[in-house]
Amino acid sequence: MTARRRAHNRPQRRRPQTNLRGRLQFVLLALGLGVAAVVVRAVDLQLVRKDFYQAQGDARFLRELEIPTSRGQILDRNGEPLAVSTPVQSIWANPPALLGNAERIPELAQALAMDPAKLLADAQAKAKANSEFMYLRRRLPPDRAAQVLALDIAGVNAQREFRRYYPGGEVVAHVLGYTNIDDIGLEGLELAYNSWLAGSPGSQRVIRDRRGLVVETVELLRAPEPGRDLELSIDRRLQYLAYRELSAALVEHNASSGSMVVLDAPTGEILAMVNLPSYNNNSRASEPANQRNRAVIDLFEPGSVIKAFTLAAGLESGLFTPESVIDTEGGRLLVTRHTVRDVRNFGPLDLAGILAKSSNVAATKIALALDNEQLWSVFNRIGIGQSTESGFPGEASGVLPPAQRWGTLHKATMAYGYAISVSALQMAQAYGALANRGRLQPPTFLKGERKPGRQIFDPAIADALVRMLETVTEPGGSGTRAAVANYSVAGKTGTTRRATSGGYENRYVSVFTGMIPASDPRLVGVVVVNDPTGGGYYGGLVAAPVFGRVMAGAMRLLDIPPDRAASTVLVHAPAADSAELVPELPPELLAGFHQGAVADGVRPGRGVVP
């Protein structure tokens, strides 16, 4: 038997029967469970926890972004821009995305002029706090921002913002103030009118990709509202003129600081307000003391410029008339063991002569003839001790002690401008009342704003005082250097010692306050120069020439016609005729009046400051 046959005859093994039904059931069950799981998961995602997952998705890709809006312009009265907002770019980053490209951080830091180690540390801290946003550099010029974005670093992006720019720089800095990096007003009129200028940013919902770039705008939630423009009463031409002349005076007399205010007499509009030293509000890299608006914040004892109102009180009392003659007692008057002096013996003086010669003795005799309340009433009505309500932040009110606290010596010294404190703006407002025939018109920084005024003097008294003040700038007066060719000028010089909490120093404040044309006043100006040391320190020598030069230019710029013959020749008095005696004052004069309110380098609204 062959091998093939033996193999054929061998019994065959039976293979076990496969359970196909069971396998099919298992597969169907598995598929059913898978489908059920998918359905359950779909129900969970689409119905049960839909809001949660939608929020999580939106948090990663859907963002609500602010739409920046430009701040309103600040314009001068002729429409010239004083403050504008220019578009800039701010560079920001998504910290986790940036850390995913950590090897490029040194390159980014170099482009942004940053420290690489600090940039890395900041990104790590933000990422640890689960933050997806951090500013890298704010307010870059568009071309520089484009250079940073050209590096194409993941997570680094830019957003549009606005930066404030002041074309006038330091010339108008104290009036305008400035904004912070978020374009919010911090000082000056930027602060006072922030809500008017700021506008309202818009809002939109957008989709961002993983790099943080906006790929789609979903909806506009709120349209942006641009800020409104603010038109000031300031005349940029007069502002530059006043700044130039005041700066020249400070250099000539080696003075530490100064201020000038020019008002439109009929309306109270502030046409110019300058202070020195100044600062550039585009950069603000200066001493903080240089940033305060001295014309409204700093106080000084007005000295002889107050004598016009001492005479006003005398005329109101009925005890004196413009023709009244006062014996100046040889230039010396003893008041409670203290001697009031004039620069020399002026002999008998009428009221105009008192102002022209600036007699301390005559002013004192008039004040001592009055009740305390009579003199206090006049000083109170012209605004001493009260805010002018100009709207400027931090405006000082000045110091006017209650009449009940006045002693004889205090009342005597008040007659020629001590023991009271005023700001330059307050003094301009007071002389504005004389220019307006006795009607006090509150000052304003806004063009066209006419605040309610009030009648504080009889028009006849105001007119008489203006005529008397004209003699101050005429030959023989103490303020001839304030005269302007072909125009009548009325005004008053003043010179006071600087006061500190411990007494009076051999440092001076030179003042001139006046109006032009005196026949029908259009402008009122106040010049204050602190600590003049070169070429004399009297108001007639230091402050009066600044007034004269500024007003001569203002008459041309505003096209105000002359009120005197064209042949008028100015006669400048020699230095001796411009001098006023600066009294030797007893230390007790400060007690109870300026204690805590007179300090050298002072808090806003308090004291006499440099």
Q: Which residue's entry shows tokens 């839909």?
A: 50
Contact indicator for 376, 386 with CB cutoff of 8 Å: no
What tokens were used for 314? 């005398």
What is the 8-class DSSP label of residue 48? I
Cα(574)–Cα(46) distance, rounded to whole angstroms?
97
What tokens were used for 244? 């130039």
Collapsed DSSP state (helix, strand, coil) of residue 510: strand
Cα(385)–Cα(324) distance, rounded to whole angstroms?
30
What is the 8-class DSSP label of residue 453? -
387 counts as catalytic: no
Cα(419)–Cα(557) distance, rounded to whole angstroms?
39
Cα(22)–Cα(24) distance, rounded to whole angstroms?
5
Catalytic residue, from 304, 358, 397, 578: name it: 304
Cα(588)–Cα(496) distance, rounded to whole angstroms?
17
Cα(528)–Cα(496) distance, rounded to whole angstroms?
11
What tokens were used for 562? 């002359």
CA dihedral in degrees (507, 515, 424, 177; nearest 10)?
Answer: -120
What is the 8-class DSSP label of residue 448? T
What is the 8-class DSSP label of residue 282? T
Would you mind telling me the total number of residues written for the chain in this entry? 610
Q: Which residue's entry shows tokens 């106080």?
A: 299
The helix (H) or strand (E) run that includes residue 313 is: helix 307-317
Instruction: Report how far apart, in Å, the C-alpha atoms of 354 and of each of 310, 357, 517, 589 are.
Output: 11, 5, 22, 24
Cα(496)–Cα(462) distance, rounded to whole angstroms?
25
Q: Which of 547, 546, 545, 537 is nearest to 495 (CA)?
A: 537
Contact indicator for 167, 116 with CB cutoff of 8 Å: no
What lies within 8 Å, CB to CB, of 54 at 6+ separation is: none
* Residue 360: other Cβ atoms inside 10 A: 30
Given the DSSP bridges, would you call strands 503-516 and 214-222 parallel, antiparallel or unpaired? Answer: unpaired
137: β partners: 91
The helix (H) or strand (E) run that includes residue 505 is: strand 503-516
- Give catalytic residues, as residue numbers: 304
